[in-house]
Amino acid sequence: MNIKSMTLPELEQVVRDLGQPAFRGKQIAQWLHRGACSYAQMSNLPTALRHSLEAQYPFTPPEVIRRQASAKDGTIKYLWRLADGNCVETVLMRYHYGNTVCISSQVGCRMGCAFCASTLGGLVRRLEPYEMLDQVLFTQIDAGLPISHIVLMGIGEPLDNFDNVMRFLELVNSPIGLNISMRHISLSTCGLVPGIRQLAQRNLQLTLSVSLHAPDNETRSRLMPVNKAYPVEVLLEACRDYFAKTNRRISFEYAMIQGVNDTQEAAKLLRKRLRGLPAHVNLIPLNHVEESPLKPSSWKAVVQFQNMLESGGIPVTVRRTLGGDIDASCGQLRRNYTRQRQA
């Protein structure tokens, strides 16, 4: 395992195995979680220990290969090159409640959603816990802004990388490191029901976001192949159980697509399906992806949809689109970079 993926007790074991006192483990953790780029920087460690660590647990920071800052809203998008040459992206968004990073959990994705750029090249591999942590650390360092909130809404399906994501959460939540509270973290899933059930067992205080995008199986299966395995009723049942276990209100993502899922009938059905489930609906006007024929809904359709849900007492927000001028959505930067290189 990469040393940056290790928890404090694991680091203490590493130093003990090297004949050193346990407090060295804490020192190493502090350096790593502050974004140290080499053992040479760890000036309070004995030189011999630094050399042994270098030999046994080498690590490299990710490298920024693209940085795009929105002139409009301060959003910054990063494309990182990982140690093995793969690329992932991270977005920093400035909200009134704090600086938020949207991180990737996989290189590519195998979920195949029809509207999403991240899945076009399939899944390359899952990210290691430290590769998710590095996105937070190095965005914070590069931008010079403290990060208080994290959303797992970048490239990849977090519940398709369950164990690594759980370990990442433990790392960012650690008081020795970034100490980001679970209540400031959102995890978004396309609806992998076994993963939702497994997550419920952990009883974390994070916010679960479920990408619903359609209230009926016909439309949802067309947009999201995962629906064939876990249809809407099964998904919403898992969401009800999730709430019963964690007492955390669920947030449903709904990308508004012209003529596909934005009708008044769809809104009525959604209202019916969410009855009695403490939920919040996030309407997102679709971001256009070049390879896809799908188009965003008109503002009028979005507002009518919102009104219909609100008439049923469902809280709705229409998400502001940030970083529209910098490819800042869902795998588009990585996609464009890869295409340019191929050309």
**Any idea which residues carry the catalytic annotation?**
89, 330
- Tell me, what amino acid is at 302? V
For ligand SAH, the closer of residues 20 and 164 by Cβ is 164
Minimum gap (Å) between residue 117 Cβ and ligand SAH: 7
Q: Does 157 bind ligand SAH (CB under 6 A)?
A: yes
CA atoms 259, 301, 117, 333: torsion sign: positive
Q: Does 188 bind ligand SAH (CB under 6 A)?
A: yes
Q: Does 328 bind ligand SAH (CB under 6 A)?
A: no
Q: Does 327 bind ligand SAH (CB under 6 A)?
A: no
How far apart, in whole angstroms, are the C-alpha atoms of residue 141 and residue 32?
13
For ligand SAH, the closer of residues 32 and 238 by Cβ is 238
How far apart, in whole angstroms, are the C-alpha atoms of residue 142 and residue 127?
21
How far apart, in whole angstroms, are the C-alpha atoms of residue 99 and residue 241?
31
Q: Does 289 bind ligand SAH (CB under 6 A)?
A: yes
Q: Which of 20, 164, 211, 246 binds ligand SAH (CB under 6 A)?
A: 211
Q: Does 261 bind ligand SAH (CB under 6 A)?
A: no
Q: Which of 76, 120, 190, 274 binds ligand SAH (CB under 6 A)?
A: 190
For ligand SAH, the closer of residues 6 and 330 by Cβ is 330
In the numeric block, the tokens 């937070």 are attached to: 136
- DSSP string across 50-98: HHHHHHHS-----EEEEEEE-TTT--EEEEEE-TTS-EEEEEEEEETTE
- Between the CA of residue 28 and those of 48, 231, 260, 297, what are the distances in Å? 14, 46, 52, 51
For ligand SAH, the closer of residues 157 and 327 by Cβ is 157
Minimum gap (Å) between residue 54 Cβ and ligand SAH: 36
Q: Which of 42, 49, 107, 116 binds ligand SAH (CB under 6 A)?
A: 116
Residue of 193, 181, 213, 196 lying closest to 282 (CA atoms): 213
Minimum gap (Å) between residue 300 Cβ and ligand SAH: 18
Query: Helix count (H) and strand count (E) of the chain?
Result: 12, 12
Minimum gap (Å) between residue 114 Cβ and ligand SAH: 9
How far apart, in whole angstroms, are the C-alpha atoms of residue 227 and residue 293?
21
Q: Does 262 bind ligand SAH (CB under 6 A)?
A: no
Q: Are 243 and 280 in contact (CB under 8 A)?
A: no
Minimum gap (Å) between residue 316 Cβ and ligand SAH: 15
Q: Does 253 bind ligand SAH (CB under 6 A)?
A: yes
Binding site for ligand SAH (CB under 6 A): 113, 115-116, 153, 157, 188-190, 211, 253, 255, 284, 286-287, 289, 329-330
